[in-house]
Amino acid sequence: MSESPLFLLAEHTTLGVGGPAAHWREARTHVEIQAALAWASERGLSTVVLGGGSNVLAADRGIDGLVLRLRNAKLQASRAGDVARITVGAGMNWDAFVAWTVAEGFSGLECLSGIPGEVGAAPLQNIGAYGQEAGRVIRRVEVVDRATGATEELSQEACEFGYRESIFKTKLAERFIVVEVEFELSKGPALVAYGELERALENEPEPSLLRVRETVLNLRRAKSMLLDPSDPNGRSAGSFFVNPGVSHHEADAVEERARALAVHAPMPRFTQGAKQKLSAGWLIEHSGLTKGTRRGQVGLSTKHCLAVVNHGGATAEEIVKFATEIRQRVRDTFGVTLTPEPRPLGFLPGELAALYD
Ligand SMILES: Cc1cc2nc3c(=O)[nH]c(=O)nc-3n(C[C@H](O)[C@H](O)[C@H](O)COP(=O)(O)OP(=O)(O)OC[C@H]3O[C@@H](n4cnc5c(N)ncnc54)[C@H](O)[C@@H]3O)c2cc1C
């Protein structure tokens, strides 16, 4: 394990905000994770796991507990015919893993190319993009219980994957540290079943896994959804709000409100189970907060309305204020309450009530 005197969260989060962590350590093995948890517990400190910092909103005051970073990045594959079980350490870079699967000819993750962060965070919100979700090919998640230090295994079913959701965000939130994830992937063709991707590849009847990966990376680059320090829209947490799921009746009511406001652009709505999934970006844009809207050093991406961008030097407080304004505006305009996607770190209970409740 290693520890350094200063760990500024702003330097380890893609939104570029957050004060110092009182303590931080790196762990490579179960034993090191357990030792770090025991070290924090003996001192009455809380432990926060930080991966790539691409889906967190860290408080300006920082964190007075322990920030733990996992550095186990092993990849082990056992193959049987065209199928492989691949066990990947939580600390491996997500996109490096996806690139490996594509190079090996395994389909199932190619559409998730370019998502920032590490493998350990992937099950938490069941990362998804362009018609694929990680949870569909995750077979097992190995975790350490924060309270007892014991190792446990959760099956795919036990993880209760849903849209940007899993048991790690709901019933078992904050209980486990994900140590490794086992995926089951098969050799096979790429998935092209998402409008934007289909259009980009319409002249290529059977694109290879690599072609789909490249196309997804290009689409993401065009929307500033890749980590790129030279991109003026690049300092974000990706989508700041998840697409809301509402009843049919509520979706009709939102459409009705849009008509009354003379919004001519058709409202995207998709059936997902018993719910209608609406587009958070569309709702934001048509509530009057258009692309590029700025409040000082914080703003909406100029490429799309779903990313809140730190244009340099913004504080977490300013981001919270702007995101709360967006949420209020959408609620006032359409009667829909948006849920933020980044996980808050270091805020006091109740401090973010207007944004997260
Ligand atoms: C430009 C951009 C584009 C993005 N596009 C997408 C997208 O298309 N689809 C999508 O789903 N997401 C997207 N995201 C969000 C983000 O990349 C993913 O949610 C990613 O999985 C977060 O990984 P991370 O390692 O950065 O996690 P972090 O941000 O470090 O952590 C996120 C949460 O997970 C917890 N956590 C992290 N690692 C562990 C672990 N090992 N065990 C237990 N808890 C852990 C943290 O405590 C925190 O609560 C995007 C983000 C950015 C910045």
Whether the per-residue pLDDT at 195 is higher than 50: the answer is yes
Question: Which amino acid does the sequence have at 54?
Answer: S
What is the rounded CA–CA span in Å between residue 285 and residue 282? 5
Catalytic residue among 25, 69, 146, 164: 164
What's the pLDDT at 237?
Answer: 98
Of the chain, the percentage scoring pLDDT greater than 90 comes to: 97
CA–centroid distance, 257 to ligand 1, in Å, is 34
What is the rounded CA–CA span in Å between residue 311 and residue 234? 9
CA–centroid distance, 94 to ligand 1, in Å, is 10
pLDDT band at 6 (very low <50, low <70, confident <90, very high): confident
| Contact between 107 and 209 (Cβ < 8 Å) | yes
Question: With a 6 A CB cut-off, is 90 part of the ligand 1 pocket?
Answer: yes
pLDDT mean over 75-94? 97
What's the pLDDT at 119?
Answer: 98
Question: Which of 33, 71, 98, 124 has most ligand 1 atoms within 8 Å of CB, for mutation?
Answer: 124
Whether the per-residue pLDDT at 98 is higher than 90: the answer is yes
Whether the per-residue pLDDT at 1 is higher than 70: the answer is no
pTM metric for this prediction: 0.96
Residue 347 backbone zone (phi > 0: left; psi -120 to 50: alpha; other: beta):
beta
Q: What is the CATH number of domain 75-222?
A: 3.30.465.10
pLDDT digits (tens, 9 = 90+) for 264-317: 999 999 998 899 999 999 999 999 999 999 999 999 999 999 999 999 999 999
Of the chain, the percentage scoring pLDDT greater than 70 comes to: 99
164 tagged catalytic: yes
Question: With a 6 A CB cut-off, is 132 part of the ligand 1 pocket?
Answer: no
Give the architecture-level CATH label for domain 245-356: Alpha-Beta Complex (3.90)
Whether the per-residue pLDDT at 3 is higher than 60: the answer is no
CA–centroid distance, 253 to ligand 1, in Å, is 33
Which residue's CA is minimally distant from atom 27 of ligand 1?
A: 51
User: Using H for helix, E for strand and C for coil, what is the string for the chain?
Assistant: CCCCCCEEHHHCCCCCCCCEEEEEEEECCHHHHHHHHHHHHHCCCCEEECCCCCCEEECCCCEEEEEEEECCCCEEEEEECCEEEEEEECCCEHHHHHHHHHHCCEECCHHHCCCCCEHHHCCCCCCEECCEEHHHCEEEEEEEECCCCCEEEEEHHHHCCECCECCCCCCCCCCEEEEEEEEEEEECCCCCCCHHHHHHCCCCCCCCHHHHHHHHHHHHHHCCCCCCCCCCCCCECCCCECCCEECHHHHHHHHHHHHHCCCCCCCCEEEECCEEEECHHHHHHHCCCCCCCEECCEEECCCCCCCEEECCCCCHHHHHHHHHHHHHHHHHHHCCCCCECCEEECCCCCCCHHHHC
Whether the per-residue pLDDT at 102 is higher than 50: the answer is yes
| Contact between 252 and 354 (Cβ < 8 Å) | no
Question: With a 6 A CB cut-off, is 243 part of the ligand 1 pocket?
Answer: no
Residue pointed to by tokens 């034993």: 31
Q: Which atom of ligand 1 is nearest to the CA of 143?
A: 42
Residue pointed to by tokens 């920082």: 62
pLDDT band at 336 (very low <50, low <70, confident <90, very high): very high
pLDDT mean over 227-245? 96
So where are the chain's domains? 7-70, 75-222, 245-356
pLDDT band at 4 (very low <50, low <70, confident <90, very high): low
What is the rounded CA–CA span in Å between residue 193 and residue 30? 39
| Contact between 139 and 182 (Cβ < 8 Å) | yes
pLDDT digits (tens, 9 = 90+) for 164-190: 999 999 999 999 999 999 999 999 999
pLDDT mean over 76-83? 97
Whether the per-residue pLDDT at 37 is higher than 80: the answer is yes
Whether the per-residue pLDDT at 347 is higher than 80: the answer is yes
**CATH class for the region spanning 7-70:** alpha beta
CA–centroid distance, 55 to ligand 1, in Å, is 4
What's the pLDDT at 2?
Answer: 47
| Strand partners for 154 | 141
CA–centroid distance, 324 to ligand 1, in Å, is 21
Question: With a 6 A CB cut-off, is 178 part of the ligand 1 pocket?
Answer: yes
Mean pLDDT of the chain: 96
First-residue to last-residue Cα distance in the chain: 37
| Contact between 125 and 136 (Cβ < 8 Å) | no
